[in-house]
């Protein structure tokens, strides 16, 4: 049975909680965390901006997870899921699935054709890949040694009938 989760818009008070979440996730480098927080700060500094959409998930004990997604520049209905993370102590309860489904519903509402996800092939991401596969995402491309030698960029995606 799915645990109760409420999904809501990002607000300024979420900044520290999201930072703690990214730091505790375990598989993000300092540089990746900095980029993730840049997107949070971009959105908080520009109310009404449409480049980066956010959803924050709460389960009664604070921030349980969040996601950030947006329309790929110059595309006709291709969307990117830039970030998704669930607090380590709340993983495996269906929260990641609910958050992703929220993003997918938004993309479909906007007439989006597909949602893409870029991730890493390095050790520690096996569970993340299994997560996306279980949600119906397929590996569309793999760019060998993209991040560094031995660390490929894996591009997954799901297409939505219009
Ligand atoms: C990836 C992540 C968001 C998944 O969130 P979650 O809340 O634990 O996932 P859920 O409980 O919703 O799982 C949904 C499905 O994925 C599967 N899954 C999730 N994590 C898995 C793992 N480590 N190994 C295998 N399957 C996994 C579940 O079995 C479940 O399948 P089911 O619905 O068919 O039973 C979470 O583990 C996380 O934040 N990881 C660290 C950050 C990260 O890697 N983010 C993505 C960067 S690209």
Tens-digit pLDDT profile for residues 104-117? 999 999 999 999 99
In a domain, 118, yes or no: yes
In a domain, 91, yes or no: yes
In a domain, 1, yes or no: no
User: If you ran DSSP here, which 8-state letter would residue 46 be given?
Assistant: S
**Alpha carbon of 76 to ligand 1 centroid (Å):** 29
Q: Which of 105, 91, 75 minimizes the C-alpha distance to 5?
A: 91
With a 6 A CB cut-off, is 128 part of the ligand 1 pocket? yes
Q: What is the CATH number of the domain that holds 69?
A: 3.40.630.30
Domain that holds residue 146: 6-159
In a domain, 128, yes or no: yes
Averaged pLDDT, 114-124: 94
In a domain, 22, yes or no: yes
Q: Which of 108, 125, 106, 113 minimizes the C-alpha distance to 28?
A: 125
pTM of the complete model: 0.95
With a 6 A CB cut-off, is 113 part of the ligand 1 pocket? no
Instruction: Please report which helix (H) or strand (E) contains residue 84, including its range.
Output: strand 78-86
Averaged pLDDT, 14-39: 95
User: Into how many domains does the chain fold?
Assistant: 1
């Amino acid at each position: 049975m799915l645990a109760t989760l409420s999904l809501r818009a990002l607000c300024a008070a979420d900044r520290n909680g999201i930072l703690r979440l990214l730091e505790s996730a375990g598989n993000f480098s300092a540089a990746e965390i900095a980029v993730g927080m840049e997107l949070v700060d971009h959105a908080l500094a520009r109310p009404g901006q449409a480049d980066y959409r956010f959803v924050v998930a709460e389960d009664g004990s604070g921030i349980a997870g969040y996601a950030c997604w947006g329309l790929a520049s110059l595309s006709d209905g291709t969307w990117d899921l830039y970030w998704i993370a669930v607090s380590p102590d709340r993983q495996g309860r269906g929260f990641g699935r609910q958050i992703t489904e929220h993003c997918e519903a938004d993309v479909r509402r906007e007439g989006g054709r597909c949602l893409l996800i870029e991730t890493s092939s390095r050790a520690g991401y096996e569970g993340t890949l299994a997560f996306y596969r279980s949600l119906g995402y397929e590996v569309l491309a793999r760019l060998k040694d993209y991040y560094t030698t031995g660390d490929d960029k894996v591009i997954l995606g799901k297409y939505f009938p219009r």
